[in-house]
Amino acid sequence: MSKLMLGDVALHYQILGEGEDVVLIHGLGANLAFWYMGIARLLARRYRVIAYDLRGHGRSSMPPSGYTLPDMGRDLLTLLDHLQIDRAHLVGHSFGARVALYFSIASGERVASLTVADTQVQSLQPAVPLCDWPYWQIWKAQLQAQGFNALPADSELINFRMLAYFNQINADFTQGALSAQGMVASPRPRLAPSLRRRDMGQKGGAQWERLLTLTGAGPELEDERSLTVEALQRISAPTLAAYGEYSHCLPSARRLQELLPNCRVVIVPGAGHFHPAVKPRLFTRLLFRWLMRETGAVWQEPGQPADWTVEPD
């Protein structure tokens, strides 16, 4: 276990493999374990993978303040300096993707490529109430049929706390097994890769509640004033935007594609917001193809097509 001291804040990180540097940035309420069981270790076969816990998460310190995007960006910059990394490929999910976006604006010369996995950006997409999410009425009926009646009102805005709650009551929700047709998306019997097995269950939930209760993180984490349309347009790094088919964040993906000349959008079928965790093999294949393309390597996975078609995991 390695920790970097940033004043009175300890930043926990882990390093796997050798090669070009790939930094993995998790979302709110998660920790670096989000990237294990299929992503970090596979990437480490070709790259040096750096995964770290955002401040207030995992084994990093929980200071009383300092949770804005500029704060998070400074943490990342200090970590890269500490590890003597001049340029890195950034991969972020949800809030972690917003950290990566901010860093690509503030320190673009340090970014070799950018992968944005399912994030919603306020300047590109307003908050989405459940009633405006096309799949909500279908999934609501399915959840109620399974006995889950303590559901949020249709007028409530979708946020991380809500998505984490859905995963707690039914792992199939974030796995994507609840389909738009009311049928199970995959007939194969297997253990669902639930977020509960990535320290986002009771233990992770308790830490998240402490973060919101004992610190000023709540309003600071919601502050996206640094991600204006004008600022985002300054991002020059090649960008991959990978979004779940059922995600409420899809409008952000399309807007990023419009704003960034080097942005490519890939839609992951049969999955929602947490697709990197619940379809890790598929997401890792996407990353390999993207990173090898950006580093000039040749994608040669046997039996896989040469284009960007995404097959079910």
Per-residue pLDDT of the chain (313 residues; tens, 9 = 90+): 799 999 889 999 999 999 999 999 999 988 999 998 689 999 999 999 999 999 999 999 999 999 999 999 999 999 999 999 999 999 999 999 999 999 999 999 999 999 999 999 999 998 888 888 877 887 788 788 888 888 899 999 887 667 656 655 654 454 444 444 443 333 333 333 344 444 454 566 788 889 989 999 999 998 999 999 999 999 999 999 999 998 889 999 999 999 998 999 999 998 888 899 889 999 999 999 999 988 776 555 433 433 444 444 4
Phi-psi region of 57 (alpha: psi -120 to 50; beta: other; left: phi over 0): beta
Structure tokens at 97: 């993707």
Q: Alpha helices, DSSP H only, in 88-135?
A: 95-106
pLDDT at 150: 83
At 229, give phi and psi (nearest 5°): -60, -45
User: So where are the chain's domains?
Assistant: 2-126+216-294, 130-214
- Residue from 201, 184, 189 nearest 145 by CA: 184
State residue 23 phi and psi, 5-degree precision.
-105, 125
* Chain-centroid distance, C-alpha 143: 25
As assigned by CATH, the class of the 2-126+216-294 domain is alpha beta
pLDDT at 24: 98
Whole-angstrom Cα distance, residue 100 to residue 301?
Answer: 28
Exposure string over 213-224, b if 16+ CB within 10 A, otherwise e: eebebeebbeeb
Please state the pTM of the whole predicted model: 0.84
CA dist 283 and 22 (Å) reads 15
Position 304 scores a pLDDT of: 42
